[in-house]
């Protein structure tokens, strides 16, 4: 895939990277929607690809030509597959095509006639709805690549560990950035704690990135896995590995542990529509003297705008900028060079998302006095309980602080009295033994750290882990459906008593 990030644009084509975890049905939908002509398939993913092409053929559409990539299949964990002689009517081998190409050695490149021509088509992760095709331009990709190099402090010859999927926003444009700096790419077939620590130790990794799930993998590594990272505490303090993370804000306890292990975490925030990271929590020297806990809280902010665009927090109705008071909530909006050209074949969605000349993210945030923004929630995720807005992100940060919790996500559950109340889904750490049930412990833990109305009334243990996209984002729409299926919570005892007392008082006055 790394080579194709160069070969396809240089040949005048548009690269469309698909999530490797898609099922055949969704992959077929996206291939038909994108009108792809070629599909490059790793041999390990051939079975799902064949199912996909069969579905396309059955729909009456012409399937893309399949080009098989098999030379990298050396991982013992991957079961070798024998490539079929003719998996579809059109089938080629990637290496054979390159070897026999008459253009081999020809340095001619099909440059775009206009810098705003499309270079990539990326589909959104589908955390809230069916994926949409986002169009990237050559200009936007170029400028975002420069921004990524600068903000990651990526000097010459970096060693980049690919824990960000290249199919997600073209790896935040780092596929091009690493090459621009003469860097080394370290790729993993499976992102595990052992593989990460081994790669860091073996290759001298300087940079990496990923969703908070990657950070969780690192901080929850076993002692044996961490021993693969051969470095002293002194070395970890002076030679840190830069990790850019995006997605949901990492809980402060995770950031603190990452810092102790020798990782410098840069918190960013963005969307597929902004080529990945669009803000970054730029560190200030005066924060160095703060306690680890306070540093972690600051690092969990989304920060200031990324190079190449501007960010604002606006009232979505009036389009007025909210005050920098850290309290007034508004919608995060962007405009600039690294905002998408539009949604492919969806003029209505493009017009709606860019209404008013700004891209509307759907995320709700406040802006602090220093200009740094802090995401409170997705507009669809905010819980309105008894007329009060509850940020699920704030509740999740507290839930995550309980030592038993490895993963946490909070959604609203219907409530007969309050309308809806927080419902926490948690995955428990392996081997955890507590004095009470985890559900009771988590609620008790939250009562001492959150206002009463923000404490989850429901805690659900999810043994298999939270549902996520391939980029590590929690699919809250699935959790909301599960919470809704539980039914409405009955009124709390105190609320019921208050209602009865009020009713009785009214009757006595009549």
Are 259 and 406 part of one and the same domain? no
Which pair of tokens denotes residue 358? 């700004």
Average pLDDT over residues 86-91: 50
H-assigned helices in 274-378: 292-299, 347-353
Does residue 504 lie within any of the structural domains? Answer: no
Instruction: Judge whether 376 lies within some domain.
Output: no
289 domain residue, yes or no: yes
CATH number where 451 lies: 3.30.300.30
79 pLDDT band, cuts 50/70/90, is very low
The mean predicted confidence, pLDDT, of the chain is 86
In a domain, 508, yes or no: no
What total of structural domains would you count in the chain?
A: 3
Is residue 150 domain-shared with residue 274, that is, in the same domain?
yes
Q: Which domain holds residue 277?
A: 118-307
Q: With contact defined as beta carbons under 8 Å apart, do 102 and 67 qualify?
A: no
Q: Please give the pLDDT value at position 86.
A: 44
Q: Is residue 467 part of a domain?
A: yes
pLDDT band (50, 70, 90) for residue 126:
low
Residue 291 burial class via C-beta count within 10 angstroms: exposed 0-12, middle 13-18, buried 19 and up: exposed
The pTM of the full predicted model, rounded to 2 decimals, is: 0.78
| Alpha carbon of residue 476 to chain centroid | 13
Of 57-71, 185-199, 372-386, the range with the lowest mean pLDDT is: 372-386
Q: Which of 75, 104, 133 is the last residue of a domain?
A: 104
Is the pLDDT score of 72 beyond 60? Answer: no
Same domain, 99 and 122: no
CATH code of the domain containing 229: 3.40.50.12780
Statement to judge: residues 154 and 281 lie in one domain: yes
Q: Residue 80: name the closest of 127, 37, 130, 42 by CA.
A: 42
Q: What is the DSSP string of 447-475?
A: HTTS-GGGS-SEEEE-TT---B-TTS-B-
* Residue 479 domain-assigned (yes or no): yes
Residues 93 and 148 in one domain: no
Residues 315-365: tens digit of each pLDDT: 999 999 999 999 999 999 999 999 999 999 999 999 999 999 999 998 889
What CATH number has the domain bearing residue 5?
Answer: 3.40.50
**CA–centroid distance for 468 within its chain:** 9
**Whether 44 and 143 share a structural domain:** no
Burial (CB < 10 A; 0-12, 13-18, 19+), residue 15, is buried
The pLDDT assigned to 213 comes to: 78
Residues 262 and 136 in one domain: yes
Residues 91 and 132 grouped into a single domain: no
**Are residues 292 and 263 located together in one domain of the fold?**
yes
* Residue that terminates a domain, selected from 275, 307, 339: 307
399 and 291 in one domain? no
The last residue of a domain, from among 104, 137, 157: 104
CA 215/CA 230 separation, integer angstroms: 19
Residue 381 lies in a domain: no
Q: Are residues 80 and 179 in the same domain?
A: no
Asked whether residue 510 is domain-assigned, the answer is no
Selection from 168, 166, 163 nearest residue 131 by Cα: 168
Mean pLDDT, residues 422-451 taken together: 91
Whether 164 and 64 share a structural domain = no
């Amino acid at each position: 895939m790394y080579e194709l990030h160069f070969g396809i644009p240089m040949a005048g084509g548009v690269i469309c990277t698909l999530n490797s975890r898609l099922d055949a049905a969704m992959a077929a939908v996206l291939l038909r929607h994108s009108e792809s002509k070629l599909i490059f398939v790793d041999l390990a993913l051939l079975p799902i690809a064949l199912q996909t092409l069969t579905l396309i053929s059955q729909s009456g559409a012409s399937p893309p030509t399949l080009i098989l990539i098999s030379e990298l299949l050396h991982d013992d964990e991957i079961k070798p597959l024998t490539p079929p002689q003719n998996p579809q009517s059109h089938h080629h081998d990637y290496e054979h095509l390159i070897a026999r190409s008459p253009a081999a050695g020809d340095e001619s490149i099909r440059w775009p006639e206009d810098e705003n021509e499309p270079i990539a088509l990326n589909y959104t992760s589908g955390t809230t709805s069916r994926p949409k095709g986002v169009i990237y331009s050559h200009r936007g990709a170029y400028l975002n690549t420069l921004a990524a190099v600068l903000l990651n402090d990526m000097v010459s010859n970096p060693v980049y560990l690919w824990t960000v999927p290249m199919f997600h926003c073209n790896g935040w444009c780092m596929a091009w950035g690493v090459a621009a700096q003469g860097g080394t790419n370290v790729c993993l077939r499976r992102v595990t704690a052992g593989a990460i620590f081994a790669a860091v130790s073996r290759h001298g990794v300087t940079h990496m990135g990923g969703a908070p799930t990657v950070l969780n993998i690192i901080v929850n590594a076993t002692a044996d896995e961490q021993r693969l990272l051969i470095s002293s505490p002194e070395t970890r303090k002076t030679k840190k590995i830069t990790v850019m993370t995006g997605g949901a804000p990492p809980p402060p306890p995770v950031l603190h542990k990452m810092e102790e292990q020798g990782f410098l975490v840069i918190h960013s925030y963005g969307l597929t529509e902004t080529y990945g990271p669009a803000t970054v929590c730029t560190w200030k020297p005066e924060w160095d003297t703060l306690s680890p806990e306070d540093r972690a809280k600051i690092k969990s902010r989304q920060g200031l705008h990324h190079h190449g665009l501007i960010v604002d927090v606006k009232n979505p109705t009036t389009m007025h900028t909210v005050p920098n008071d850290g309290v007034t909530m508004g919608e995060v909006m962007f405009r600039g060079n690294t905002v998408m050209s539009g949604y492919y074949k969806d003029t209505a969605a493009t017009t709606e998302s860019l209404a008013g000349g700004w891209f509307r993210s759907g995320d709700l945030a406040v802006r602090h006095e220093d200009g740094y923004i802090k995401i409170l929630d997705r507009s669809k995720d905010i819980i309105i309980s008894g007329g009060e807005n509850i940020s699920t992100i704030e509740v999740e940060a507290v839930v995550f602080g309980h030592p038993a919790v490895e993963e946490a996500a909070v959604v609203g559950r219907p409530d007969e009295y309050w309308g809806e109340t927080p419902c926490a889904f948690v995955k428990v750490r392996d081997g955890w033994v507590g004095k009470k049930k985890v559900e009771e412990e988590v609620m008790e833990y939250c009562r001492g750290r959150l206002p009463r109305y923000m404490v989850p009334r429901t805690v659900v243990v999810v043994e298999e882990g939270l549902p996520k996209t391939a980029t590590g984002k929690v699919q809250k729409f699935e959790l909301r459906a599960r919470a809704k299926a539980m039914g409405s919570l009955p009124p709390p005892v105190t609320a019921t008593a208050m209602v009865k007392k009020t009713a009785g008082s009214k009757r006595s006055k009549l």
